Amino acid sequence: MKKLAALIALALPVHAATESRTVEVSFYCFKYAPGVETVQVANGETSKSIRLSTANITEPVSLPVSDNQAVILRADQALPAAKLKIPAEIGKALVVLMPSPAGSAEPYHAFAIDYGHEKFPLGTYRLVNVSKHAVRGAIGRSYAEVKPGGIAGIELQGENGATQGAKFEFLEEGKWNRLTETRCAVRRDRRWLVCVYQDPATKRMNLRSIPDRTVNLVTASNATASIAE
């Protein structure tokens, strides 16, 4: 009987202890959810109020993560504003927020991008496609094509101060359609987030280019440029 009990115990699943950690996160809000422009990040007995921005990336704060899951609270801290997964390999994250579809439990849908300098160095555009269409972008000789829900980097080539053509398009019914086309000046002190999103109400495709102003202005060997919408 003891041997049988031991075999049964070995056969039962073993539940791992909860893995908790703290991740440094910055926020970018593509579009405000109605009435929710400020969120709270709770860390133990303290909390930090974050004023979301549709124009800039916020300064980093510490966000508790348990089993790779994180919760961002509404301003009154009574209910979640968003829930998201932050994979274990991400130690520094950029959290992108956008309004959830009508009827959702939380006002925001959120996802995390690896914000470490190895994955997102200066001189790189991070192209994030949260639309249902394939997207492609070219800046000078640098090019990337991204499937729906995908992320890709555009590492620029060129001398500081030079101007380069920039063009972004989305694929619909077998045809590439223009999102934006402009010229931009090469810089060496920035990295940029480029987010492509389809408005659920108007169905219009939108592109937003956001500079990371939280990075110290240091000289880098790579180059970056600003995209006008």
Supply the range of the domain harboring residue 140: 124-225
My answer on whether 128 and 100 are in the same domain is: no
- pLDDT winner (highest mean) among 1-5, 158-162, 174-178: 174-178
In this prediction, what percent of the chain has a pLDDT beyond 90? 62
My answer on whether 202 and 142 are in the same domain is: yes
7: in domain? no
Q: Which CATH number fits the domain that encloses residue 156?
A: 2.60.40
Structure letter (DSSP) for residue 32: P
In the β-sheet with 151-155, what is the strand arrangement from edge to edge? 151-155, 124-129, 192-198, 205-211
pLDDT class for 195, splitting at 50, 70, 90?
Answer: very high
176: buried, middle or exposed (CB in 10 Å: 19+, 13-18, 0-12)?
middle
62: in domain? yes
Please count the structural domains in the chain.
2
Distance CA(70)–CA(106), nearest Å, equals 13
* pLDDT score at 202: 84
As given in the structure block, the two tokens for residue 55 are: 């124009």
Q: Is 162 within 8 Å of 182 (Cβ atoms)?
A: no
As given in the structure block, the two tokens for residue 40 are: 């709270």
Distance CA(179)–CA(224), nearest Å, equals 20
Q: Is 169 within 8 Å of 177 (Cβ atoms)?
A: yes
12: in domain? no
Question: What tens digit of pLDDT does each residue of 111-153 get?
Answer: 999 999 888 988 889 999 999 999 999 999 999 999 999 999 9
My answer on whether 221 and 128 are in the same domain is: yes
My answer on whether 143 and 211 are in the same domain is: yes
94: in domain? yes
Residues 6 or more apart whose CB falls under 8 angstroms from that of 109 comprise: 82, 97, 98, 99, 100
15: in domain? no
